[in-house]
Amino acid sequence: MKDFVSLKGINGDVVLKIDPTAPFEEVLNIIKSLIESERNFFSKGFLTIDTQGKELSEDEISKLQDLLNGINVSFRINEEKKLFVENKETPKQSVFVINHTVRSGQVFRYNGSIVILGNVNPDGVVESESDVYVFGVIKGKVTARRRVVALGFQQQYLNINGLEIDFKTPEKSRKPWVFEIGEDNKINFSQLDAREAKPVRRRKDG
């Protein structure tokens, strides 16, 4: 039964591999045992779950969230697969949710959108191939392909679609700020209640 689940460190990442033929409740029980016996693997607060091609149901993912949230661990489903079961005729982009502040030294990379329920602290790193939504203040380093939304921008580094942004906002606002790439490949910013985009300056090299 232990072969149903394996836990390994790969290139600095923690990967939890699940046998696609295993009963899910058995998988869940094994993960509970691993949390007790392999605490060091869970100490980083983040892991990747490799389902080896099995598509998890929304209920199964909810159970994983309940279990891992209890030990303050965020996770993503392996990048090639969907985060939730969806209608195949209308595929949706996957979203990786980080349910805590990104602390100094933590690095999160994902090929879909990232939602952060907290701040990005100095020397914390977040990199997305799509959008980044922060329910807090960005004080660390964030890279996105299209859009970054946060309650405040006091960043060490902010890059959208290859363009580095030097502009900063007041430390925190009740109304989220939006920085996004425009049709002219320039970065625009606005607040969510007043979507009149304004251009911002790019950071000058040197």
Q: At 12, is the pLDDT very low, low, confident or very high (cuts 50, 70, 90)? A: low
**Predicted confidence (pLDDT) at residue 199 exceeds the cutoff of 90:** no
Dihedral class, residue 185 (left if φ above 0, else alpha if ψ from -120 to 50, else beta): left
**Predicted confidence (pLDDT) at residue 155 exceeds the cutoff of 50:** yes
Domain ranges of the chain: 1-86, 93-206
HEC assignment per residue over 140-175: CEEEECCEEEEEEECCCEEEECCEEECCCCCCCCCC
194, 203, 165, 168 alpha-carbon torsion, rounded to 10°: -60
Judge whether 34 and 5 are in contact, CB under 8 Å: yes
**Assigned CATH topology for domain 1-86:** Transcription Regulator spoIIAA (3.30.750)
What would be the CATH architecture of the domain defined by 93-206? 3 Solenoid (2.160)
Residue range 4-10: average pLDDT? 81
Helix (H) or strand (E) holding 15: strand 13-18
Residue 132 backbone phi and psi in degrees, to 5: -125, 125
Residue count of the chain, please give it: 206
Q: Is the pTM of this model over 0.75?
A: no
pLDDT value at residue 81? 40
**Predicted confidence (pLDDT) at residue 83 exceeds the cutoff of 50:** no
Q: At 152, is the pLDDT very low, low, confident or very high (cuts 50, 70, 90)? A: very high
Q: Angle of helix 58-69 relative to helix 24-37, nearest 10 degrees? A: 10
